[in-house]
Amino acid sequence: MSCTTCTTDKTGIPKGCKSNGTCASGGCDKLSVYDWLGNMSLPGHQKKFDHIEVRFKNGRKAFFKNEPNLSINIGDIIAVECKSGHDIGDVTLTGELVKVQMNKKKVRLGSENILKVYRKASQKDIDIWQEARNKEQEVQRKARLIVSRLGLKMKLSDIEFQGDGKKATFYYTADTRVDFRMLIRELATMFNIRIEMKQVGLRQEAARLGGIGSCGRELCCSTWLTDFRSVSTSAARYQQLSLNPLKLSGQCGKLKCCLNYELDSYMDALKDFPNPKIWLQTKQGTAMFQKMDIFNGFVWYVYKDNPMQWHQLTTEQANEIITLNKKGEKPYNLEEYSNELIIEEPDKNIFENVVGQDSLTRFDKPKRSKKRNNKNRNRNKNKNSNQNNPNQKKNPNQNKKRPNNNNNQNKKKVNPNQNNANKKRNPNQKKVNPNQKQNPNSKKS
């Protein structure tokens, strides 16, 4: 989702989101909530819920009470109360869904932490707010230089100015406790504002800054995920994943949150599988567990004396052998179970790649060699000549070379009806009319 300001210009260069995720259209908002009750009218005797949800920079949200009873809609820019001065934010949710969100985040009605709404933001308030937002990048650069000069072991990840420009909150991450009293003094004297330092975790830092994950999509924590549950390496073990920290860690350096998404389905599937620690006892020998296929329901065992030969069994067959061992019985061997196994051939219509898409080069024309093109041209010429003379019979000896006979080459073809052009005519000779009959009695001159 994006608004018109995030598209490209006429030259094709991307504009980028100048609002940094605070577009009025709502297309670039992080952690946005769809108001599916917005088109429904309330009954006549019921009043509209007087609390609203306001969003600030990088997905930070808070609830405020609409004491002036203003007509506020989603997307309005309002001025709200804060500990010192006022702040500017965007309205993201109104009505009955605010009550649901407050119950979800365990915010009680009438608590002292809920502040009130002052007014709708004027143009002067918006100008001061935008001016303060434009200074954040330069202030962050100078603050990092001061941190490096003081030798503090901390990382400044983000800065958020208050709507009136009188206060700035510095978000940082650190492994140990940091004494930043000298840092606050220098920042306050340099920028002439009130400073507040707030430490956040690595997951919260990634959620504020955003980014692209290994899946090619935006980070879940910066788009929709608000509940950061702990992720352990056992989630990767249950899913038969290799314990490679480079592949299992996300942008924040911690284990990926998506490892918990399919963990419940894997746990349900593993209930039918035998315990890998249990060995199978047969008359031929003891069999040890090697690996399992969760999707197809297969397990592989090997004999302790012959570890090179693997025997494939189903989960039902393995559980059957375990129950026999508990009763004190032993099957003869595993071959009689593996021979009964009928493996179905996979469907031929399954896509070859993982995603199930066609090749990206399916529309490209294949390159042909020049020799092949010349042969095709000669064939087309012969076909066209034959199509022009359909009644013409093909001579099988047409393409054959004739033998060279010296006698035939020296001979000249003579036409009997043709007069000899080399003979000289007599000027006194009379011309003979071919149509005139010749008199046999006439004498020759």
Q: What is the pLDDT of residues 187-238, one digit of tens each?
A: 999 999 999 999 999 999 998 888 899 888 889 988 888 888 889 999 999 9
- CA separation (Å) from 276 to 290, 291, 301, 314? 8, 8, 10, 14
Two tokens at 234? 């056992």
Mean confidence (pLDDT) of the chain: 79
Task: Inform me whether the pLDDT recorded for 171 exceeds 90.
Answer: yes
* pLDDT band with cut points at 50, 70 and 90 for residue 64: very high
Q: Which band of pLDDT confidence, cut at 50, 70 and 90, is reported for residue 35?
A: confident
Contact 93, 52 (CB under 8 A): yes
Q: Which of 36, 68, 39 is nearest to 52 (CA)?
A: 68
Question: Which of 298-307, 310-319, 382-391, 425-434 has the lowest average pLDDT?
Answer: 425-434
pLDDT over threshold 60, residue 391:
no
7-21, 38-52, 366-380, 404-418: segment of lowest average pLDDT: 404-418
pLDDT of 335 reads 86
**What is the average per-residue pLDDT within 286-292?**
91
Give the per-residue pLDDT at 338: 79
Is the pLDDT score of 408 beyond 50? no
218-224 contacts, C-beta under 8 A, 24 or more apart:
219/250, 219/251, 220/257, 220/258, 221/252, 221/257, 222/30, 222/59, 223/30, 223/31, 224/31
CA distance linking residue 310 with residue 11, whole number of Å:
63
* pLDDT at residue 159 in the model: 93
Confidence band, pLDDT 50/70/90 cuts, at residue 32: confident
- Report pLDDT for 209: 86
Residue 89 in tokens: 């934010």
Is the pLDDT assigned to residue 25 strictly greater than 50?
no
Instruction: Look at residue 12 in the predicted model and tell me its pLDDT.
Output: 58
Tokens of residue 183, six digits: 């840092």
Q: What is the amino acid identity at position 108?
A: R
The domain limits of the chain are 1-26, 31-38+46-121, 131-200, 208-261, 271-340
Tokens read off for 217: 């999509």
Q: Alpha carbon of 316 to those of 291, 301, 338: distances in Å?
A: 16, 14, 12
445 pLDDT band, cuts 50/70/90, is very low
The residue whose two tokens read 């004494």 is 179
Q: Which pLDDT score, from 0 to 100, does residue 41 have?
A: 81
Question: What percentage of residues in the chain have a pLDDT greater than 70?
Answer: 71
**What's the pLDDT score for residue 29?**
59
From residue 83, give the alpha-carbon distance in Å to each of 77, 92, 162, 235. Answer: 19, 22, 11, 43
Range in 43-47, 153-157, 304-308, 380-384 with the lowest mean pLDDT: 380-384
The radius of gyration of the chain from alpha carbons, rounded to an integer in Å, stands at 46
Quote the CA–CA distance of 331 and 355 in Å, as a whole number: 43
Average pLDDT over residues 154-162: 93
pLDDT score, position 273: 92
- Position 375 scores a pLDDT of 66
CATH architecture of 131-200: 2-Layer Sandwich (3.30)
The residue that leads in pLDDT, 13 or 128, is: 128
> Residue 124's pLDDT is what?
93
Mean pLDDT, range 106-110, rounded to an integer: 87
Task: Count the Cβ atoms, other than its own, within 10 Å of residue 440.
Answer: 5
In this prediction, residue 1 carries a pLDDT of 42
Mean pLDDT of 13-32: 55
Beta-carbon contacts of 76 under 8 Å, excluding residues fewer than 6 positions away, are: 90, 91, 120
- Give the pLDDT confidence score for residue 325 in this predicted structure: 92
Structure token pair of residue 292: 């399992």
Among 223, 272, 273, CA closest to 251? 223
User: Residue 444: pLDDT band by 50, 70, 90 thresholds?
Assistant: very low
pLDDT score recorded for residue 334: 87
> Which pLDDT score, from 0 to 100, does residue 26 have?
46
pLDDT band for position 2 (cuts 50, 70, 90)? very low
Q: What are phi and psi for residue 238, nearest 5 degrees? A: -65, -30
- Rounded CA-CA distance 241/244 in Å is 8
